A = this chain, B = another copy of it.
Amino acid sequence: MNVLIVYAHPEPKSLNGSLKDFSVKRLERAGHVVQVSDLYAMNWKASLDADDFPGRQAGARFDPSLDSKHAFENGSQSQDIALEQEKLRWADAVILQFPLWWFSMPAILKGWVERVYAYGFAYGVGEHSDTRWGERYGEGTLAGKRAMLVVTTGGWESHYGPRGINGPIDDILFPIQHGILYYPGFDVLPPFVIYRTSRIDEAKYAEARDALGQRLDALGTTAPIPFLPQNGGAYRIPALTLRDEIAPGRTGFAAHVA
């Protein structure tokens, strides 16, 4: 497979850096072709702004969504954005690897999503009408590809448990796994999470590395999270609420998993 790792940590000698290097070797040894978007090393521009669309009329009111649409259609996006879209098209599987900072991805990675996920590429795809709300949540440009998060946290696993103070890890990652990965079509594999990173000694590192290795070995075969596709009959359109007979009586993120 072609595997893209989008990696966001500022220090190569960190736990994240080691795990990223390990992943590249493990995947290549298994015969995969790997590209890494090392966002800090690339000095990735994090903030979406009018400079991302060099073809636009100077002085015109900037509309992040419409300017993205026009630039994507006309091939006038900033070159760094187009290159990342090309990597996504090339990839059969995408890994986002990052430390959990303030219960989400680092800003530099969030800015990768905002800038690379153009209108017409990751959203605004397909028919939009009273009966169709585009190709998204299970359909879209990236359908058929697999994606997985590799995440490190300083907190303990119990802090992210069902009744842990930070909230359950699956709920914290839902806006990313469902809202950023499933949205443009990815099949999303369960995340690989390493907790309590400040207390990792050599033995624990070896354990985490081996567990990650097994997940990488199974990248092509692991069953994805069974999120409900938008256009598979589970949702009323255009209200986009679950039909009564789907997960009856349930609310919240988990209701969108079959």
Q: Report A's interface with B, CB cutoff 8 A.
A: 10-11, 13-14, 40, 44, 46-50, 61-65, 99, 101-104, 106-108, 110-111, 113-114, 117, 137, 154-156, 158-159, 161-168, 171-172, 174-176, 178-180, 230, 235, 238-242, 247, 250-256
When A40-B47, A165-B137 are in contact, do A239 and B106 touch as well, CB less than 8 Å? Answer: no
Nearest Cβ on chain B to A17's Cβ, whole angstroms: 10
Nearest Cβ on chain B to A231's Cβ, whole angstroms: 11
B residues in contact with A253, CB < 8 Å:
167-168, 171, 252
Task: Among A46, A107, A166, A256, find the residue whose CB has the most chain B CB atoms closer than 10 A.
Answer: A107
Q: Are B46 and A46 in contact (CB under 8 A)?
A: yes
B residues in contact with A117, CB < 8 Å:
102
B residues in contact with A102, CB < 8 Å:
110, 113-114, 117, 175, 179-180
A-B contact pairs, 16 of them (CB 8 A): A10-B47, A10-B48, A10-B50, A10-B62, A13-B61, A46-B47, A103-B179, A107-B110, A111-B111, A155-B240, A158-B239, A163-B242, A168-B253, A172-B179, A252-B252, A252-B254
